[in-house]
Amino acid sequence: MNSSKDRQRPLVVQYLYVHGQDEEFFYPNARSAATAAGAARRYLECALVQAASLRLRGDAEVELALATNITHRDALGRVGGELLARIEALGVEIVPTEYRRRPPEDSATFFSSRYVLDAIVELAARNPDDRPMLFTDLDCVWVNPQRLFDSVPQAPEIGCVHILYPLDWDVVGFGDEARTRAKLGEMAATLGTPTTLGTPAATLAPAAQEPAPWVGGELLAGTGASLRAMVEECDRLDRELSGMGRVLPTEEQILTLAGNLGTVPFVNLSKAAYRVHTGPRHEAPPVKAPLSLGLWHLPAEKGLSLRRAAGQLRRGRTAPLRRDLAEPRRLARRFNVLGTGLGRRFRDDGWIAGRKVYGALSSRIGALPPPA
């Protein structure tokens, strides 16, 4: 990973924290992955599909890594081990990474969200300072990789997805009171504005009256040096907040606070990557022109289309996904990005029900052949 040739070749990093058996956690979109091993398998399915959406194209000049605390693969079970082997077969480097920047132990919801900060520190230390790096959530699919690679900002800027939630929308749904854009704006007003990323505080623009956009955690992109400096600023803010008896449990909260302070120069990459809500039950507005994006973040597809694609890849069936990757509209239908009609909804609900029956039978009478 450290040759001069790699200096301009992007590095895409996924990150997976595997919970211990005694840790409490809750991920609303993980669809019944209630045990530590079950959650790990669900997210390894996503990691496999994302890696395949890059590698099966054949024309994406990129290196791939998975930052994880997995040390004993046997703990993943047979299926988890097979998924990890498939991921490695796609040329993904497994990078051991400890979880040092944990939220408080009582923050069970999105407990591993801050793991990206440790992944950044680990991978930045292994690569040239000027290498473009993109840290992505696991449940993402690449549509047009080069579009996003070309959008990675120069130092010291950090590319991210900006989300204009309503000011009083409860984004996090747990933790302390700083769960909305408005509250994070108020918190920023109580903090000082120190020198950050080499910029003297006196030259920073004063905080805007309007709270900054919410910084989504699905994508953080920049040079290794810029990303490392961003984490240093998050650490500084954590120390300052701790001295006030306050804590922000998720990475999105601490990053959005830094955005409000102007201490991290975030750049909006929403025209190249975005969070796409799928299915009939969400209330989010539709994403305009999803086929023009370079990356889809699909949080509601972990237990459905991403899992279905992972099943094909685990069995060595790469042709269906490779074919769909060549045609964005077909890829969008596969992952429910263009919406679902009544027939597709019946098919998806039936598929989910079939997996539940399979899981129940398998737990009673032992391992069964995997369903189609």
Q: Confidence band (pLDDT; 50, 70, 90) for 285?
A: confident
Find the mean pLDDT for residues 20-37.
Answer: 63
DSSP 221: E
Specify the 3-state DSSP secondary structure of 85: helix
According to DSSP, the β-strands at 266-268 and 214-223 are: unpaired
| Residue 15 contacts residue 121 (beta carbons within 8 Å) | no
User: Minimum mean pLDDT among 119-123, 127-131, 172-176, 228-232: which range?
Assistant: 172-176
Calpha distance 226→190 (Å, rounded): 26
pLDDT in tens, 109-123: 678 899 999 999 999
Does residue 344 register a pLDDT over 80? no
pLDDT in tens, 293-322: 999 999 999 999 999 999 999 999 999 999
The pLDDT score that the predictor gives to residue 35 is: 80
Tokens describing residue 115: 């793991």
According to DSSP, the β-strands at 158-163 and 214-223 are: antiparallel
Percent of the chain, pLDDT > 90? 65
The pLDDT score that the predictor gives to residue 37 is: 83
Calpha distance 354→352 (Å, rounded): 5
What is the model's pTM? 0.86
Q: Confidence band (pLDDT; 50, 70, 90) for 180?
A: very high
- Partnered with residue 109 across adjacent β-strands are 26
Q: Confidence band (pLDDT; 50, 70, 90) for 342?
A: low
| Residue 41 contacts residue 33 (beta carbons within 8 Å) | yes
Does residue 129 register a pLDDT over 90? yes
Interacting residues of 317 by C-beta distance below 8 A, sequence separation 6+: none
Calpha distance 276→293 (Å, rounded): 10
Does residue 194 register a pLDDT over 90? no
Does residue 202 register a pLDDT over 50? no
pLDDT in tens, 213-245: 999 999 999 999 999 999 999 999 999 999 998
Q: Decide which of 32 and 257 is more confident.
A: 257
The pLDDT score that the predictor gives to residue 67 is: 98
Q: Decide which of 210 and 99 is more confident.
A: 99
Find the mean pLDDT for residues 9-35.
Answer: 75
The pLDDT score that the predictor gives to residue 199 is: 45
The pLDDT score that the predictor gives to residue 155 is: 97
Domain locations in the chain as residue ranges: 4-341, 342-372
Does residue 283 register a pLDDT over 80? no
Find the mean pLDDT for residues 161-182.
Answer: 86
The full DSSP string for 318-355 is: -HHHHHHHT-HHHHHHHTTTT---HHHHHHHHHHHHHH
The 3 state secondary structure assigned to 252-298 is: HHHHHHHHHHCCCCEEECCCCEEECCCCCCCCCCCCCCHHHCCEEEC
The pLDDT score that the predictor gives to residue 201 is: 38
The pLDDT score that the predictor gives to residue 149 is: 97
Find the mean pLDDT for residues 315-342.
Answer: 91
The pLDDT score that the predictor gives to residue 318 is: 97
- Does domain 4-341 bear CATH number 3.40.1130? no
Calpha distance 140→219 (Å, rounded): 10
- If you average pLDDT over every residue of the chain, what do you get? 85
Helix axes 224-243, 115-125, angle to 10 degrees: 140
